[in-house]
Amino acid sequence: MKFRNVFWGLSLIIIGGLLIGRNIGIIDFDWFNILRLWPLLFILWGLSVLPIRETIKTGVLIILLGGATWFVLEAPRSHSPWDVFSNFDNSTYSYERSEQKGEHAGEATADFLKNQRRITIPYADTIKNARLEMDAAAGKFIINDTTSNLLTFLQKGTYGYHYQYFINRTNHNVNITFSEKDERIFHNNNHKEVTIALNPAPLWDIDLNAGASSVNYDLSNFRVRKVSLDGGAGSFKITLGDKYPDVKINIDAGASAITIKVPQSTGCDLEITAVMSGKHLSGFEKISSGHYQTANYDTAKNKIHLNVDAAVSSFRIIRY
C-alpha cells in the first residue's frame, strides 16, 4: 500500500465528508481554517521522502489528518478579510467581520487554547438605545462590569459550542442578538460560562431566553429600561440601580431560587404568580393577592415594576 495512494485517498474522503456535512447542516467550520494548515503540506512532503516503512508513514498520516480535521471543525472563526467563503454565509449586517484584526488575532489563538471565545462590539457615541437578546441553552450567565466598547462577550468552557451574533442598527438604536449554533458533537451546557460587559452610556433593554441556568446580572451601573428573563429551573440573581426612572422586570421561570436587589430609595411594585415555599419581601406591603408595593412607591422619583410568573422554591427582594 503506497503512501501517496493512501494520502490522496484519505484527503479526498475527509474533504468530501466535510463539504457534504457542511452543506446539509450537520457540521460548521470556517473555510479559512483549511488555509491555515498549509504548512502541513511540507510535513507530509517530508514524511513521504523519509526512508521508513510505508505502514509507519500511513500511521503518522492518519494522525496528522485526524488532527487537521479536528482543528478545522473546532478552531474559532478567523474573521479575516481574506475569508471570502464565510462572508457569503450570512447576509445580515454584523460587526463580526471586523472582530479580530491585527493584535487581536493572537488573543483569539490564546483564547482558543484556553477553551474560550471573546467577542468585542465597538461603541459609537451616536448610539442612544441598545437591546441585548440572548437565546441560549443552560449555563452560567454574568453581567458585572462596564466597558468602553458597546459590549464585550466572553465564553468559557463547553468545548465546541459556537455563538453566532447579529447586529441591526437603525438611526440611534442598536439590536444585538446572540444565539448558539449547536452543530457540534461534543458539548455539555452545564460547563458553559458567559460573561458580558456593557457600555453604561446607552439605555438598555435586556432579554435572556435560557434553560436551567445560573444568572447573575449586576445592572446597578447601567441605564436599564427593561429586563426580560425566560428560564427553566435555576438560580436567578438581578441587581438593579437607580439610573433610570421607570424600570420594568419580567421573569418567567420554573422551580427556581430568585433574588432581586433594589435600591432603598426606589419605589417598587411587585406582581407575582407563584407557588412559593419561601419568600422574603422586606419593606413591601401587601396590596392584594399577589400584589405588593413598597411604602415609598407613590413618592419615589424612580420606580421599578416587577412581574414574576414562576413555580419558585424561594423568592427574595433585598433593598440595599
Reported confidence tier of residue 85, pLDDT bands at 50, 70, 90 = very low
- pLDDT of residue 189 exceeding 60: no
Percent of the chain with pLDDT over 90: 37
Q: What b/e readout covers 28-38, taking b as 16+ CB neighbours within 10 angstroms?
A: bbbbbbeeebe
Please write the tens of the pLDDT for every residue from 6-22: 667 777 787 777 777 76
* Domain stops at, among 45, 74, 103: 74
- Same structural domain, 126 and 55: no
- Same structural domain, 17 and 101: no
- pLDDT of residue 92 exceeding 70: no
Q: Rg (Cα) of the chain, in Å, rounded?
A: 25
Question: Does residue 109 lie within any of the structural domains?
Answer: yes
- Same structural domain, 128 and 238: yes
- What is the pLDDT at residue 100? 44
For residues 310 and 34, the model is more confident at: 310
- Same structural domain, 257 and 294: yes
* Domain stops at, among 28, 44, 74: 74
The dihedral built from the CA positions of residue 180, 101, 175 and 304, taken in this order, carries a sign that is positive
- pLDDT of residue 226 exceeding 90: yes
Question: Does residue 80 lie within any of the structural domains?
Answer: no
Task: Report d(CA 215, CA 236) in Å as an integer.
Answer: 5
- Same structural domain, 236 and 152: yes
- Same structural domain, 97 and 66: no
For residue 70, the surrounding DSSP H or E stretch is: helix 54-74
- Same structural domain, 56 and 180: no
- Same structural domain, 245 and 305: yes
In angstroms, the first-to-last Cα distance of the chain is 75
What contacts 199, CB < 8 A, 6 or more positions away? 123, 130, 146, 147, 148, 149, 150, 151
Averaged over 257-264, what is the pLDDT? 92
Task: Report d(CA 296, CA 130) in Å as an integer.
Answer: 30
* Mean predicted lDDT score pLDDT of the chain: 78
User: Which pTM value belongs to this model?
Assistant: 0.63
The domain total for the chain is 2
Task: Report d(CA 215, CA 217) in Å as an integer.
Answer: 6
- Same structural domain, 143 and 102: yes
- Same structural domain, 207 and 235: yes
What residues make up the domain containing 302? 92-319
- Same structural domain, 8 and 150: no
* Domain stops at, among 74, 104, 124: 74
- Same structural domain, 306 and 266: yes
For residues 196 and 66, the model is more confident at: 196
Question: Does residue 86 lie within any of the structural domains?
Answer: no
249 to each of 20, 98, 177, 270, 300, how far by Cα in Å? 45, 34, 19, 9, 18
Task: Report d(CA 240, CA 263) in Å as an integer.
Answer: 7
